A and B are shown apart, each in its own frame.
Chain A
Amino acid sequence: MNNYLNKTYIILDRELKGYFRTPLASIFLLVFLALSSGMTFFLGRFFERDQADLTAFFSWHPWLFLVLMPAIGMRLWAEERRSGTIELLITLPVTNTQLVVGKFLASWIFTLIALILTMPIWITVNYLGEPDNHVILISYFGSWLMAGAFLALTSCLSALTKNQVIAFIISSISGFVLIMAGFNLVLSAVRSWSPNWITETISSMSFLSHFTRIQMGVFDLSTLVFFISMIILCLWINVQLVQVKKAD
């Protein structure tokens, strides 16, 4: 078991450092901070709302992640396949699950770093008023969980192609469908031909409705189970896809 975790950690470590070896990490972090604060202050009207909370900050996260998480995750498998390093990885004495989990965790931790760097907004709101820090903490955690689901989805889809751009596009589109799953735009397309329970299931898979509840400080078990099982399902498919597509 120790050995198993150790190998996963070595993969994670290489992958996480990989973000910082190129300008990718700094560019991403800059863009993330600029966009998240820009959206908070300008689109979210942080000051005009005159409320000591971070709703204006968190409510944009699903849309921000829709673009930024595929940007982080698109290279995870597409690049390994394009460069042929997948052959090195698979012939090492590790399982595909270790590889998939190690890579995913690296990208998830990278997102955590990005979220931690937005702390000044939290400090600002505490300086200006008396927010419910409990809600903010839950929102941060929920945001990170949602980012994990986006990343797992991207990681999974990036195993389908050798082209990072294609991985980015299909991940963004799939992410969009999952955000909008609770909206009529998606539901009306399904409702006309499918039984009610399918519509209900799709509706319950909406990232947006789960995240909206979190933002209000409501963190129920179903939301936790939803995001965690979403991550596990995507990573499981990811493992299968790596196995099937590795030699294409």
Chain B
Amino acid sequence: MSDKLINATNLKKSFDQFIAVDNIDLSVSRGEVVGFLGPNGAGKSTTMKMLTGFLEPDNGEVFINNINLKSDPLKAKEYIGYLPEGAPSYSDMIVADFLSFIGKMRGLNDNSLSNRLEEMANQINLKEMWNRPIETLSKGFKRRVGIAQALIHDPDILILDEPTDGLDPNQKYEMRNLIKRISTNKAIVISTHILEEVEAVCSRAVIISNGKLLANDTPINLENKFLNKNTLSIKVSNKINNVISKEIKSLLKYDDVKIQKTDILTYTIFVSDSQKNPNLNTVLKQINKLKLDVIEANFQKVSLEEIFRKITSENNSK
């Protein structure tokens, strides 16, 4: 018995000639939040559709809580809560009826259904919209209704396809907090093309492009893996002319030293090296010799965004 709530191997799916998902392996344990990253049309949604049993893979297997999704789909689906892309719902129904319909279909009895409905109303802030037809709700509330229907049976596994798409910054913030709050005892997969989201909520990032899984690691490990050249940036409140610039470059014994005007009052010196990471102390000591006033010094991290762009563009060029 494996403790993986989701365990998918060699997933493959083609539509006519187009290979949407190409041999993807993925496993997710309880407590993990996995972020699916990828450009539009990368195969994120198709993979999620196979994990939820909406699509049957051409090849490969999906195990949900050790139950084979293909041989016992009804049992396996009980463990999953799913928010499809675009958060579809029956727009003519009122929120309460819609959630109660999904709850009943999920096998909740009257007692537990009314408890869960109340929890959803409070937890997802749906109270004020409770008796309104879904078609009259704003995009943000519609998305919340979508999340509520996925959570109504308190599933072990939550698969959310672009849960924050189309939300305003406040709503995005709330949604991320909600995901973080409920993530402790669930296995969660979210797809997004917003990288800050992965950094904010995910314990693991999976990068998909052209149907292939290109990276699968924690955001920090990914950053470290692709961070072979840390850049040190030092902001000074002095004017740096050509003469000083030459002095700086000759003092600092690193491959790459660049100086840029940041604004009217400050300049920034970027120091990097292909062989070794620049040492902050040494660099500061050298700069002190030139009597420059340092107002800020830090390592410039390579963002997940750059890593993403690097990985996906490399894959495209192949």
A7, B106: Cα distance in complex, Å? 9
* Contact across chains for B77 and A92 when beta carbons are under 8 A apart: yes
For A85, the chain B residues whose CB sits under 8 A away are 88-90
B88 touches A88 (CB 8 A): yes
Whether the pair A92, B84 counts as a contact (CB closer than 8 A) is no
- A87 with B101: CB separation less than 8 A: no
Q: Per-position contact with B for A58-96: 1 when CB-CB < 8 Å, else 0?
A: 000000000000000000000000011101101111110
Name A88's contact: one of B73, B89, B104 (CB within 8 Å): B89
Say yes or no for B75: interface residue by CB 8 A criterion: yes
Tell me whether B1 is interfacial, beta carbon within 8 Å: no
Taking CB as reference atom, which chain A residue is nearest B149?
A88
Q: Are A83 and B91 interface neighbours, CB within 8 A? A: yes
- Which interface residue of B55, B91, B102, B105 has the most chain A CB atoms within 10 A? B105
Tell me whether A21 is interfacial, beta carbon within 8 Å. yes
Query: B107 and A247: CB pair below 8 A?
Result: no
Q: Is B39 part of the binding interface, using a Cβ–Cβ cutoff of 8 Å?
A: no
From B74, B77, B91, residue with most partner A Cβ within 10 Å:
B74
Residues of A within 8 A of B78 (CB): 93
A92 to B77, CA, bound (A): 6
Let me know if B105 and A94 touch, CB within 8 A.
yes
Residues of chain A within 8 A (CB-CB) of B53 are 90-91
Expressed in whole angstroms, the Cα–Cα distance for A87 and B161 within the complex equals 12
Which B residues lie within 8 Å of A246 (CB)? 54
Name the interface size band of chain A: 20 to 34
Give residues of chain A (1-58) contacting chain B, Cβ–Cβ below 8 Å: 3, 7, 10-11, 14, 18, 21-22
Contacting pair A91 B104 (CB below 8 A): no
One of B49, B74, B89 near A247 (C-beta < 8 A): B49
Question: In the bound complex, what is the Cα–Cα distance between A95 and B86 (angstroms)?
Answer: 24
Q: Which of B74, B92, B93 contacts A94 (CB 8 A)?
A: B74
Chain A residues near B80: list those with CB within 8 A: 91
Complex contact A21–B106 (CB within 8 A): no
Set B73, B74, B90, B106: member contacting A18, Cβ < 8 A = B90
CA distance A91 to B257 in the complex (A): 56
**How many B residues face the partner with a CB closer than 8 A?**
28
Q: In the complex, what distance in Å separates the CA atom of A14 from the CA atom of B100?
A: 10
Instruction: State which of B82, B93, B105, B107 has its C-beta within 8 Å of the C-beta of A21.
Output: B93
Per-residue CB contact flags for chain A residues 78-120 toward chain B (1 = under 8 Å, else 0) read 0000011101101111110000000000000000000000000
Which residue of chain A has the shortest Cβ distance to B85 in the bound complex?
A84
Name which residue of chain A comes closest to B82, CB basis.
Answer: A91
User: Bound complex: CA of A83 vs CA of B84, how far in Å?
Assistant: 11
Docked CA distance A126–B87 (Å): 54
**Partner of B106 from A14, A84, A92, A95 at Cβ < 8 Å:** A92
Q: Is there an interface contact between B92 and A21, defined as CB atoms closer than 8 Å? A: yes
Shortest C-beta distance, B132 to chain A (Å), equals 13
Q: In the bound complex, what is the Cα–Cα distance between A84 and B84 (angstroms)?
A: 8
A contact residues around B73 at 8 Å (CB): 93
Complexed CA–CA distance, A78 and B196 (Å): 37
- Complex: how many Å from CA A192 to CA B104? 55
**Chain B residue at minimum C-beta to C-beta distance from A85:** B88
In the assembled complex, the CB of A187 is this many whole angstroms from the nearest CB of chain B, namely 39
A91's partner among B77, B89, B107 (CB-CB below 8 A) is: B77
A87 touches B107 (CB 8 A): no
- Please tell me if the beta carbons of A91 and B52 are within 8 angstroms of each other in the complex: yes
| Cross-chain contact of B75 among A7, A18, A93 (Cβ < 8 A) | A93
- The distance in angstroms between the C-alpha atoms of A18 and B91, with both chains bound, is 11
Q: Is the CB of A22 within 8 A of B92?
A: yes
A93 with B104: CB separation less than 8 A? no
Task: Look across to chain A and name the residue whose beta carbon is closest to the beta carbon of B84.
Answer: A87
Not counting A21-B93, A83-B88, A92-B105, a sample of 18 additional A-B residue pairs whose C-beta atoms are within 8 angstroms of each other reads A10-B104, A11-B105, A14-B90, A18-B90, A22-B92, A84-B85, A84-B86, A87-B49, A87-B54, A88-B88, A88-B89, A90-B53, A91-B53, A91-B54, A91-B80, A93-B105, A93-B107, A247-B54
Name the 8 nearest CB pairs between A and B, nearest first: A84-B88, A87-B84, A93-B77, A91-B52, A93-B74, A85-B88, A92-B105, A21-B92
> 27 A–B contact pairs at CB < 8 A?
A3-B107, A7-B105, A10-B101, A10-B104, A11-B105, A14-B90, A18-B90, A18-B93, A83-B88, A83-B90, A84-B85, A84-B86, A85-B90, A87-B49, A87-B54, A87-B82, A87-B84, A91-B82, A93-B75, A93-B105, A93-B106, A93-B107, A94-B74, A94-B105, A246-B54, A247-B49, A247-B54
